[in-house]
Amino acid sequence: MIKNTTERSFSAFFLVGIPGLEAFHYWLSIPVFLLYIMTLLGNALIILTVKLEPTLHQPMFYFLCMLGLNDVAIASVTAPKMLSIFWLDTHLIAFDECLAQMYFIHTFCIISSALLVSMAFDRYVAICHPLHYTTILTNPLVIRMGLAGAARAIVMVLPCPLLILRLPFCTKYIIKHAYCEHMAIVKLACANTLINRAYGICVALSVMILDLTLITISYIKILQAVFRLSSKDARSKALGTCAAHVSTILVSYTPALFSFLTHRIGKKVPPSIHIIFASIYLLVPPTVNPLIYGVKTKQIRDKVMELFCPNQKYGKH
């Protein structure tokens, strides 16, 4: 028996992958691999484009770069271990490594949510207070907003692994998941886990409710300002600048809400469906975000095309 801050009769967990679909792990690895590669390439391209193009050195694109870096971090913490399970059958993961993976996954997810709030605030200032945009959203404020989002995530998630360390783990060491998720680990403990479950739910609900409320308020203000515009073209242009951000919000929060609800109240949902949606929540938004901004944001689209076709001129007509 190993004894430190907790008791457990093993030094590693066994990650099943996707329960019930073990025979299809090799085939499931293909979309996971492609999503990971597209995440790395797409976000690197967006960040490089913003770095090389001085006209894109604006708060909106700084937030986009932060989101890109965070997306790469989420995918890199999750996808490699999933691929090692699917390809190499390396299901074992050390206890401390599992807690670290859990901590970073949840931390990066909360940072991502904070960045979406910051981007909503950016659009609110740009549309509702355009004359004061550069004086309100200064570079120091953008940096402080990014650091505040990261600090919130770090502090809020830190108690999760610390509370798990105090739990005894007797005989259950099989995690029926493709990665180390908070509730999946807590369920294996052979002790009362009320504090762990209550804290996990409080963190998830507080982040989701607060951030979605702030985003909703921003867009209510934006819509009020847009519909006060007399010109139809001006209204279309203003709404067009928000299209990419709204698409990102939908892509990020829809699978997150489904995963959260099925994990806690969807008792009849097959585990394989829950884990697939949980994986979609972590792997699809990081892949789709650069595509959304690349297609819907004219400045980025034009600059990316110039990088690949330097002899062509875009955005001149």
Token pair 């959260």 is at which residue?
A: 260
Range of the domain at 274: 13-298
Residue 106 lies in a domain: yes
Tokens coding 25:
């792990």
Supply the CATH number for residue 94's domain: 1.20.1070.10
Tokens coding 111:
């940072």
| Alpha-helical runs (H) found in 265-312 | 271-296, 298-308
Sequence letter at residue 23 = A
Residue 306 lies in a domain: no
Residue 310 lies in a domain: no
Measured CA to CA, the distance from residue 34 to residue 173 in angstroms comes to 30
How many domains are contained in the chain?
Answer: 1
Each residue's pLDDT expressed in tens, for the chain with a length of 317 residues? 334 445 555 688 999 988 888 888 889 999 999 999 999 999 999 999 899 888 889 998 999 999 999 999 999 999 999 999 999 989 999 999 999 999 999 999 999 999 999 999 999 998 888 889 999 999 999 999 999 999 999 999 999 999 999 988 887 889 988 999 998 899 899 889 999 999 998 998 899 899 999 999 998 898 888 888 777 777 777 777 677 778 888 888 877 777 666 666 656 778 788 888 888 889 999 998 888 877 777 778 777 777 777 666 555 44
Measured CA to CA, the distance from residue 182 to residue 180 in angstroms comes to 7
CB 25 within 8 A of CB 85: yes
CB 207 within 8 A of CB 156: yes
Region label for 17, one of left (φ > 0), alpha (ψ between -120 and 50) or beta (otherwise): left
Measured CA to CA, the distance from residue 164 to residue 242 in angstroms comes to 41
Sequence letter at residue 99 = L
Residue 262 lies in a domain: yes
Measured CA to CA, the distance from residue 60 to residue 126 in angstroms comes to 9
* pLDDT computed for residue 9 by the predictor: 57
Is residue 291 classed exposed, middle or buried when 0-12, 13-18 and 19+ CB atoms within 10 A define those classes?
A: middle
Sheet strands side by side (includes 92-94): 92-94, 12-15, 174-175
Contacts of 194 (CB under 8 A, 6+ apart): none
Residue 244 lies in a domain: yes
Angle, alpha carbons 58-111-261 (nearest 5°): 130
Residue 215 lies in a domain: yes
* pLDDT computed for residue 44 by the predictor: 94
| Alpha-helical runs (H) found in 53-193 | 59-88, 95-128, 133-136, 139-157, 159-165, 182-186
pTM: 0.89
Residue 303 lies in a domain: no
Measured CA to CA, the distance from residue 305 to residue 296 in angstroms comes to 13
Is residue 231 classed exposed, middle or buried when 0-12, 13-18 and 19+ CB atoms within 10 A define those classes?
A: exposed
Q: What residues does 15 pair with on adjacent strands?
A: 175
Residue 158 lies in a domain: yes
Tokens coding 146:
């990014």
